[in-house]
Amino acid sequence: MQMFLNEQQVKDLIKEAERFGEVIVVRCIRKTKASKSGGPDAGDLYDLHCGTKPAYTPVSGRDRRAEDSRHGILTVWATNRQKRTDRTWGDWRRVNIRQVQKVIYKGTEYEVVTS
């Protein structure tokens, strides 16, 4: 049985996973080419394993939440990505909800229908 989500349901599931300390896999279409050689190209699918966000202190006065909300972007903590600075696991990523193709949460796969 195929299960489908809309964009708002994708956001809600990601926020639920963050709130309850769960991991959710978000499969997206890359907007740009990967920075490292051999990585995915623009238009390729890639997975982000999103988990609970660590404490964050903004480095500028820019209101990212309002900006992200206007543009359909959600900032997530990706546990399967390394920080560029010290190569430790876990880094911030911005996900365009309209680019999400599939969500895997608690063993259930959902296809995403975008507007």
Tally of domains in the chain: 1
Query: Rounded to two decimals, what is the model's pTM?
Result: 0.84
Looking at residue 87, the DSSP 8-state letter turns out to be: -
pLDDT at residue 70, as a whole number: 87
Q: Is the pLDDT of residue 38 over 70?
A: yes
pLDDT band at 64 (very low <50, low <70, confident <90, very high): confident
Per the structure block, which two tokens stand in for 53?
């966000």
**Dist. CA 55–CA 40, nearest whole Å:** 29
Residue span of the structural domain in which 63 resides: 4-112
